[in-house]
């Protein structure tokens, strides 16, 4: 579900994505604080809001996940978003831009000491990511052209492997930061089937797998996992990086993730010394800034965040087992573009910025990340929806709605307009946004049942039952818009506002695709084919305008990105794109 799932950036555990938490009491806070040993060992301690959902990178589509620490691809990105070698030491792109030949670094090893070579690379792509029996969002991002063909991957010799695309594919090199998987461990699980005829791979490396059975090629490997409490990573003794003096990296011995199911609790733990880092939310910025010197930390300002927060309606008009996924009465509202535009005009984003974000943000209008060179601002021509309740009411009227004697909005058949808005519980900012949306829409005659629910229930509704009215969630982002192709492709695994059934789920009949929806899909394909950067940007400009005109998602606020890092963590080179830990292998911990 998350954009940028292909990136191999160190901060991936803390990106803005679907974040989730359940508030816990002060007694629990004290227990967590007391258990931390952040200040005594060569370890970096952070907090995550929820247990991971899988230890299998091919099956992961949400954050938090472990793969930025334990997995590595052929290439990676530095703090400026520039492509650098990782498992590959070099590559050559053919003159026609259809082929890339990678030369793998010599003497690479997995964390169990087994050799890592081109066979692992070929296995990863040909047998896992390109395997239609494996339900992975990665495949959506690697499909090329209107025919949605996949690249071919061929071993040339013991050190080289060739990727060939059927046509030029602009984001291809950047897409190859995908975690490489160990053939010696996982190939048997692809070939062996369970009682239902499905590959055992689908049940391999789940969260119940013993850490000792997991194999890593990243800087770290999972050492232990206690559900609901913590994950501990230890450095991989066979990791390939060395510094200029030949010393093995990383320098930090351990990474600890405390599972803290409340952002408030994480704040308490950080202030008391139990955490080394904290993603600063706007409501706590002033407090933490005042304590910066006394607290022994520094707040880094990364500028506009790469993520998006948005509200989306369920536009799926299909039926499953003879029953509509969405109440047909509500579906008529949601699929009326004037209705969605009226909701956008009726949502006071400036009030959100002032009250919830404490002025530390700006209205977001685009699905493309603000730091991306493909982002279109309102000043450059992107349509916007400034708060205008009168215009909202006029649009409702134009769409056939009217107001009853109680000043409540009703449709042309006399049905009261009322719907449920879901989000993940525990994230205070998101809960505040939902509360305000409920208040804003009440002023234009709409009753919203705002319901924060547990993350697992939210994911089940989005991915499995497909039965929901509206959502308030967030996605990560980055430089390359094509990393979000699985969101905008009509058959993509993250096309949540009109999602097709996932592999192994009951089929859907009468699913309809809107013309604008298909147009965005086509434009993303076209943009990936275009090698001229000026022309490519123009294509993405068109996609942004179409999304704003049709509003499958109502984008809300782009927050400034702040991270507070304890002074004992040395070597921070904060990146506005990749966060504080993109160079984790270079960081050191000093005693206080």
Which CATH number do you get for residue 175? 3.90.76.10
**Residue 144: Cβ within 10 Å count:** 20
Residue numbers of the domain that contains 321: 308-559
Supply the CATH number for residue 367's domain: 3.10.105.10
Phi-psi region for residue 4, left (φ > 0), alpha (ψ -120 to 50) or beta? Answer: left
Same domain, 183 and 323: no
d(CA 167, CA 97): 8
Interatomic CA distance for residues 312 and 333, integer angstroms: 13
Domain membership of residue 241 (yes or no) is: no
User: Which of 2, 588, 386, 526 minimizes the C-alpha distance to 378?
Assistant: 386
Residue 82, burial from CB neighbour count under 10 angstroms (0-12, 13-18, 19+): exposed
Classified as helix, coil or strand, 374 is: coil
Cα gap 335→26, rounded to integer Å: 45
| Closest-CA residue to 241 (of 67, 118, 86) | 86
What b/e string do you get for 419-446 counting C-beta neighbours within 10 Å, with b at 16 or more?
bebbbbbbbbbbbebbebbeebbeebbb
Rounded to a whole number of angstroms, the CA Rg of the chain reads: 24
Q: Where are the alpha helices (DSSP H) in 135-182?
A: 138-142, 172-175
d(CA 470, CA 448): 10
268: left (phi over 0), alpha (psi -120 to 50) or beta: alpha
Instruction: Among 131, 154, 187, give the residue marking a domain's end.
Output: 187
Does residue 417 sit within a domain?
yes
Report yes or no on 232 lying in a domain: no
* pLDDT number for residue 209: 95
Give domain status of residue 338, yes or no.
yes
Q: Are 155 and 119 in contact (CB under 8 A)?
A: yes
Q: How many CB atoms lie within 10 A of CB 28?
A: 14
Please count the other Cβ atoms lying within 10 Å of the Cβ belonging to residue 466. 24
| Helix (H) or strand (E) segment spanning residue 56 | none
Query: How many whole angstroms separate alpha carbon 523 and alpha carbon 383?
Result: 18
The span from the CA of 227 to the CA of 558, in Å, is 32
- Determine, yes or no, domain membership for 586: no
Helix (H) or strand (E) holding 233: strand 230-235
Q: How far apart are CA 259 and CA 35, in angstroms?
A: 12
Which of 187, 220, 246 is a domain's end point? 187
Q: Which pLDDT score, from 0 to 100, does residue 404 have?
A: 97
Counted domains in the chain:
2
Alpha helix stretches (DSSP H) within 103-144? 118-122, 138-142
Would you state the structure tokens that stand for residue 352, as one six-digit string? Answer: 């959100």
CA torsion 261→262→268→274, rounded to 10°? 30
Residue 546, in any domain of the structure: yes
**Whether residue 358 is found in the same domain as residue 500:** yes
Strands (E), 251-407: 254-259, 277-280, 297-304, 308-313, 319-320, 323-324, 361-363, 402-403
At residue 294, the 3 state secondary structure works out as helix
Distance separating the N- and C-terminal Cα atoms of the chain: 40
Within this chain, do residues 456 and 322 fall inside the same structural domain, yes or no? Answer: yes
C-alpha to C-alpha distance for 212 and 328, rounded to whole angstroms: 50
Q: Are residues 361 and 507 in the same domain?
A: yes
Do 343 and 552 meet the contact criterion of CB atoms below 8 Å apart? no
Residue 446 maps to a domain: yes
What is the Cα–Cα distance from 585 to 582, expressed in whole angstroms? 8
Q: Give the pLDDT of residue 16.
A: 30
Q: Which of 187, 212, 235 is the last residue of a domain?
A: 187
Q: Which residues contact 45 (CB under 8 A, 6 or more apart)?
A: 36, 37, 38, 255, 256, 258, 274, 275, 276, 277
User: d(Cα 166, Cα 51) in Å, to the nearest integer?
Assistant: 40
Q: Report angle CA 522, 523, 528 to the nearest 5 degrees.
A: 105
37-73: per-residue pLDDT in tens?
Answer: 444 589 999 998 888 889 999 998 777 789 999 999 9
**Residue 592: per-residue pLDDT:** 63
The low-confidence residues of the chain, meaning pLDDT below 70, are 1-40, 592
From residue 318, alpha-carbon distances to 40, 324, 331, 505 in Å are 57, 6, 10, 14
* 250 inside domain: no
């Amino acid at each position: 579900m998350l954009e940028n799932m292909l990136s191999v950036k160190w901060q991936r555990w803390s990106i803005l994505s679907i974040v989730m938490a359940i508030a816990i009491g002060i007694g629990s806070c004290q227990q967590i604080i007391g258990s931390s040993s952040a200040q005594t060992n060569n370890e970096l301690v952070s907090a995550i809001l929820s247990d991971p959902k899988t230890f299998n990178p091919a099956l992961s589509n949400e954050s938090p996940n472990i793969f930025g620490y334990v997995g590595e691809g052929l290439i990676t990105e530095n703090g400026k978003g520039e492509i650098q070698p990782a498992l590959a030491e070099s590559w050559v792109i053919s003159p026609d831009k259809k082929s890339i030949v990678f030369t793998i670094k010599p003497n690479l090893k997995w964390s169990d000491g087994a050799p890592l070579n081109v066979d692992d690379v070929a296995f990863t792509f040909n047998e896992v990511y390109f395997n239609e029996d494996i339900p992975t969002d990665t495949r959506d991002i690697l499909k090329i052209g209107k025919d949605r063909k996949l690249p071919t991957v061929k071993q040339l010799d013991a050190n080289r492997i060739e990727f060939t695309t059927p046509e030029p594919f602009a984001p291809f090199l950047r897409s190859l930061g995908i975690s490489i998987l160990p053939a010696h461990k996982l190939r048997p699980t692809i070939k062996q089937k369970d009682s239902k005829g499905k590959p055992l791979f689908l049940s391999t490396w789940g969260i119940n797998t013993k850490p000792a059975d997991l194999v890593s090629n990243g800087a770290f490997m999972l050492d232990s996992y206690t559900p609901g409490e913590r994950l501990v990573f230890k450095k991989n003794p066979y990791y390939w990086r060395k510094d200029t003096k030949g010393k093995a990296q990383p320098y930090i011995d351990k990474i600890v993730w405390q599972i803290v199911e409340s952002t408030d609790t994480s704040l308490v733990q950080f202030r008391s010394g139990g955490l080394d880092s904290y993603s600063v939310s706007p409501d706590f910025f002033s407090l933490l800034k005042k304590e910066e010197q006394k607290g022994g930390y520094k707040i880094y300002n990364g500028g506009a965040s790469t993520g998006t927060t948005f509200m989306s309606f369920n536009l799926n008009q299909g039926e499953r087992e003879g029953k509509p996924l969405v109440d047909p009465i509500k579906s008529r509202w949601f699929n009326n573009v004037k209705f969605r535009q009226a909701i956008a005009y009726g949502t006071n984003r400036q009030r959100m910025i002032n009250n919830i974000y404490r002025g530390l943000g700006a209205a977001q209008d685009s699905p493309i990340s603000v730091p991306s060179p493909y982002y279109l601002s309102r000043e450059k021509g992107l349509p916007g929806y400034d708060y205008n309740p009168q215009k909202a009411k006029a649009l409702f009227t134009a769409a056939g709605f009217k107001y009853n004697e109680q000043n409540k909005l009703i449709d042309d058949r006399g049905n009261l307009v009322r719907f449920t808005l879901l989000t993940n519980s525990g994230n205070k900012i998101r809960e505040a946004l939902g509360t305000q949306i409920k208040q804003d829409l009440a002023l234009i005659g709409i009753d919203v049942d705002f319901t924060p629910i547990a993350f697992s229930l939210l994911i089940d509704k989005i991915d499995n039952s497909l039965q929901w009215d509206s959502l308030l969630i967030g996605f990560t982002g980055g430089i390359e818009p094509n990393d979000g192709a699985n969101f905008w492709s009509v058959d993509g695994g993250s096309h949540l506002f009109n999602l097709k059934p996932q592999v192994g789920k009951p089929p859907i009949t009468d699913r309809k695709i809107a013309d604008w929806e298909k147009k965005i899909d086509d434009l993303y394909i076209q943009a990936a084919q275009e090698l001229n950067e000026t022309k490519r940007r123009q294509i993405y400009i068109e996609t942004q305008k179409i999304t704003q005109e049709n509003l499958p998602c109502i984008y809300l606020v782009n927050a400034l990105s702040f991270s507070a890092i304890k002074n004992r963590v040395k070597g921070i080179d904060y990146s506005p794109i990749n966060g504080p830990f993109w160079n984790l292998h270079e960081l050191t911990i000093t005693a206080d």
